[in-house]
């Protein structure tokens, strides 16, 4: 039972490049989340998915797109990366009460 | 915006009880109180949650005031491994989880 798995763990992008952060959970959870955490700050919600096929904007959605094609996977796409998107990205899943978080993707945009 | 207010930092001596307060004066009837913690730069970890009644599990106890406008997380015997940022969150079940700034807890040897 792996829980929530994020790939990649580390990534360096050049300004303007695109990439997709992958997240998969094996707990059959309905809800999935993407957060970003800047140095010394708390987590900010980017997008949220209450169930397969549905997505909703969070606190800081600009510059990101998401896809929830099936119950297991929730991907986050940066179409044109900017230095302001340098951050640690966390994915989480939840059903009911407790949310489980992945170990994060450390993204640097130069 | 986060619906909770927490002190930015607290100290606690190792072996003593750590009591972390949280104010949530605008909490709605269907909203639960959740506590998570984040150790260093790992993903947050669930600790405990409650609606109206006090709750206890193997990690901590949660005391919610009768009017539900504030709560306290209690770590009964703090260890160095409890050094972390603790987040108090209020939200309905299965809804968006919005984090605030949390409390940075330092356990002193």
Cα–Cα separations (whole angstroms), residue B91 to A98, B28, B35: 12, 8, 11
DSSP characters over chain B? --S-B--SEEEEETTSPEEEEEE-TT--TTPEEEEEEE-TTSPPEEEEEESSS-EE-SS-EEEE-TTSSEEEEEESS--GGG-EEEEEEEE-TTS-------EEEEEE-
| B33: nearest CA partner in chain A | A97
Indicate whether A84 pLDDT > 90. yes
Distance from A43 to chain B by nearest Cα, in Å? 6
- β partners of residue A73: A24
Selection from A37, A41, A44, A92 nearest residue B104 by Cα: A41
What residues in A contact B38, CB-CB < 8 Å?
43
CB B86 within 8 A of CB B103: yes
Instruction: Per-residue pLDDT tens, chain B, 109 aa: give them.
Output: 568 999 999 999 999 999 999 999 999 999 999 999 999 889 999 999 999 999 999 999 999 999 999 999 999 999 999 999 999 999 988 788 999 999 999 999 9
Q: B87 touching A, CB under 8 A?
A: yes
Rounded distance between C-alpha atoms, residue B49 and residue B101, angstroms: 18
Burial of A5 (0-12, 13-18, 19+ CB in 10 A): middle
Which tokens in the block code for residue A98? Answer: 């407790």
pLDDT, tens digit (0-9, with 9 covering 90-100), for A8-43: 999 999 999 999 999 999 999 999 999 999 988 899
CB contact under 8 A, A97 and B98: no
């Amino acid at each position: 039972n792996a829980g929530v798995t994020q790939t990649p763990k580390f990534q360096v992008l050049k300004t303007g490049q695109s990439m997709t952060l992958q997240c998969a959970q094996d707990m059959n959870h309905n809800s999935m989340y993407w957060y970003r955490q800047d140095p010394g700050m708390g987590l900010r919600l980017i997008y949220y998915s209450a169930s397969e096929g549905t997505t909703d904007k969070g606190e800081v959605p600009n510059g990101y797109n998401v896809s929830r094609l099936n119950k297991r996977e929730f991907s986050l796409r940066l179409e044109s990366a900017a230095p302001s998107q340098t951050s640690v990205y966390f994915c989480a899943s939840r059903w009911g009460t407790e949310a489980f978080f992945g170990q994060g993707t450390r993204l640097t945009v130069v | 915006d986060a619906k909770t207010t927490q002190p930015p930092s607290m100290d606690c001596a190792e072996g003593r009880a750590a009591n972390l307060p949280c104010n949530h004066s605008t909490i709605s009837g269907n909203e639960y109180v959740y506590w998570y913690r984040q150790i260093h730069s790992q993903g947050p970890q669930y600790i405990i949650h409650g609606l109206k009644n006090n709750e206890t599990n193997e990690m901590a106890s949660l005391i919610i005031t009768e009017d539900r406008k504030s709560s306290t997380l209690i770590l009964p015997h703090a260890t160095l491994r409890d050094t972390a940022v603790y987040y108090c969150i209020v939200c309905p079940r299965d809804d968006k989880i919005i984090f605030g700034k949390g409390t940075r807890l330092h356990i002193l040897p």
